[in-house]
Amino acid sequence: MSGMKIRGNVLIVDDEETVGIGMSEMLKDAGFNAIYVTNGSDAVVEAQKSQYSLIFMDMVMPGMNGLETFRNLKKVSPATRVVLFTGFFKDAENTIYQGIREGMIDEFIRKPFFAEEIISTARKYASST
Protein backbone atom coordinates (compact mmCIF):
# COMPACT_ATOMS: atom_id res chain seq x y z
CA MET A 1 0.00 0.00 0.00
CA SER A 2 3.07 2.20 -0.06
CA GLY A 3 2.53 5.34 -2.11
CA MET A 4 -1.28 5.05 -2.05
CA LYS A 5 -3.00 8.40 -1.55
CA ILE A 6 -5.18 8.53 1.55
CA ARG A 7 -8.76 9.18 0.47
CA GLY A 8 -10.06 10.58 3.78
CA ASN A 9 -10.51 9.96 7.49
CA VAL A 10 -13.32 7.59 8.44
CA LEU A 11 -14.53 6.66 11.92
CA ILE A 12 -16.51 3.48 12.55
CA VAL A 13 -18.68 3.29 15.67
CA ASP A 14 -20.01 -0.16 16.53
CA ASP A 15 -20.18 -2.12 19.78
CA GLU A 16 -19.47 -5.36 17.86
CA GLU A 17 -15.69 -5.53 17.65
CA THR A 18 -15.70 -7.93 14.69
CA VAL A 19 -17.76 -5.42 12.67
CA GLY A 20 -15.51 -2.51 13.64
CA ILE A 21 -12.30 -4.37 12.84
CA GLY A 22 -13.70 -5.75 9.58
CA MET A 23 -14.96 -2.38 8.35
CA SER A 24 -11.78 -0.53 9.32
CA GLU A 25 -9.58 -3.11 7.57
CA MET A 26 -11.67 -3.10 4.38
CA LEU A 27 -11.58 0.72 4.30
CA LYS A 28 -7.83 0.79 4.93
CA ASP A 29 -7.36 -1.64 2.04
CA ALA A 30 -9.36 0.79 -0.13
CA GLY A 31 -7.04 3.67 0.81
CA PHE A 32 -8.87 5.35 3.69
CA ASN A 33 -7.47 6.25 7.08
CA ALA A 34 -10.01 4.32 9.18
CA ILE A 35 -10.31 3.58 12.86
CA TYR A 36 -13.09 2.21 14.98
CA VAL A 37 -14.43 2.73 18.47
CA THR A 38 -16.90 0.56 20.34
CA ASN A 39 -19.26 3.15 21.84
CA GLY A 40 -20.73 6.61 21.46
CA SER A 41 -18.69 8.23 24.22
CA ASP A 42 -15.43 7.13 22.60
CA ALA A 43 -16.69 8.40 19.24
CA VAL A 44 -17.23 11.89 20.67
CA VAL A 45 -13.75 11.87 22.25
CA GLU A 46 -12.20 10.69 18.98
CA ALA A 47 -14.02 13.43 17.02
CA GLN A 48 -12.56 15.99 19.43
CA LYS A 49 -9.03 14.69 18.75
CA SER A 50 -9.19 14.24 14.96
CA GLN A 51 -11.24 15.52 12.03
CA TYR A 52 -13.33 12.89 10.24
CA SER A 53 -15.08 13.48 6.94
CA LEU A 54 -17.30 10.43 7.44
CA ILE A 55 -18.62 8.40 10.35
CA PHE A 56 -20.24 4.98 9.94
CA MET A 57 -22.40 4.53 13.01
CA ASP A 58 -24.36 1.64 14.41
CA MET A 59 -27.74 2.67 15.79
CA VAL A 60 -28.00 0.12 18.62
CA MET A 61 -25.20 0.40 21.20
CA PRO A 62 -25.10 0.26 24.99
CA GLY A 63 -24.93 3.61 26.70
CA MET A 64 -25.46 6.27 24.04
CA ASN A 65 -27.33 4.90 21.04
CA GLY A 66 -26.58 6.11 17.52
CA LEU A 67 -29.03 9.01 17.64
CA GLU A 68 -27.70 10.31 20.97
CA THR A 69 -24.14 9.90 19.72
CA PHE A 70 -25.01 11.81 16.54
CA ARG A 71 -26.40 14.71 18.57
CA ASN A 72 -23.17 14.93 20.57
CA LEU A 73 -20.94 14.55 17.51
CA LYS A 74 -22.69 17.40 15.69
CA LYS A 75 -21.76 19.74 18.56
CA VAL A 76 -18.08 18.82 18.08
CA SER A 77 -17.92 18.31 14.31
CA PRO A 78 -20.98 19.75 12.54
CA ALA A 79 -19.71 19.18 8.98
CA THR A 80 -18.98 15.46 9.38
CA ARG A 81 -21.20 13.19 7.27
CA VAL A 82 -22.89 10.29 9.05
CA VAL A 83 -23.94 6.97 7.55
CA LEU A 84 -26.13 4.88 9.78
CA PHE A 85 -26.00 1.10 9.70
CA THR A 86 -27.96 -1.32 11.79
CA GLY A 87 -29.70 -4.64 11.85
CA PHE A 88 -33.37 -4.94 12.66
CA PHE A 89 -34.48 -3.83 16.08
CA LYS A 90 -37.80 -2.99 17.68
CA ASP A 91 -39.03 0.48 16.68
CA ALA A 92 -36.19 0.83 14.15
CA GLU A 93 -38.30 2.89 11.78
CA ASN A 94 -39.27 5.46 14.44
CA THR A 95 -35.67 5.94 15.51
CA ILE A 96 -34.43 6.15 11.92
CA TYR A 97 -37.11 8.72 11.01
CA GLN A 98 -36.19 10.78 14.06
CA GLY A 99 -32.58 10.72 12.89
CA ILE A 100 -33.62 11.84 9.42
CA ARG A 101 -35.64 14.73 10.88
CA GLU A 102 -32.54 15.83 12.77
CA GLY A 103 -30.35 15.58 9.67
CA MET A 104 -28.47 12.54 10.91
CA ILE A 105 -28.59 10.19 8.03
CA ASP A 106 -26.73 10.91 4.84
CA GLU A 107 -27.25 7.29 3.92
CA PHE A 108 -28.60 4.14 5.56
CA ILE A 109 -27.09 0.67 5.26
CA ARG A 110 -28.80 -2.37 6.71
CA LYS A 111 -26.76 -5.17 8.28
CA PRO A 112 -25.58 -7.53 7.02
CA PHE A 113 -23.89 -5.41 4.39
CA PHE A 114 -21.49 -6.09 1.54
CA ALA A 115 -17.93 -4.76 1.45
CA GLU A 116 -18.62 -2.93 -1.81
CA GLU A 117 -21.52 -1.03 -0.16
CA ILE A 118 -19.18 0.27 2.54
CA ILE A 119 -16.36 1.17 0.16
CA SER A 120 -18.57 2.89 -2.41
CA THR A 121 -20.34 4.86 0.35
CA ALA A 122 -16.97 5.94 1.77
CA ARG A 123 -15.82 7.03 -1.70
CA LYS A 124 -19.03 9.02 -2.06
CA TYR A 125 -18.84 10.90 1.25
CA ALA A 126 -15.26 10.86 2.57
CA SER A 127 -12.85 13.36 1.12
CA SER A 128 -9.21 13.94 1.89
CA THR A 129 -8.86 16.05 4.98
CATH of the domain at 32: 3.40.50.2300
Whether 18 maps to a domain, the answer reads yes
Whether 47 maps to a domain, the answer reads yes
3-state DSSP helix/strand/coil % of the chain, to nearest 5: 45, 20, 40
Whether 129 maps to a domain, the answer reads no
Confidence of residue 129 (pLDDT cuts 50, 70, 90): very low
Whether 69 maps to a domain, the answer reads yes
- Residue 118's domain spans which residues? 9-123
Whether 119 maps to a domain, the answer reads yes
Q: Which residue has the higher pLDDT, 26 or 1?
A: 26
Whether 1 maps to a domain, the answer reads no
Count the domains in the chain: 1
pLDDT in tens, 65-94: 888 898 899 899 988 888 877 766 566 667
Confidence of residue 1 (pLDDT cuts 50, 70, 90): very low
Taking the C-alpha atoms of residue 88 and residue 77, their distance in angstroms, rounded to an integer, is: 28
Whether 117 maps to a domain, the answer reads yes
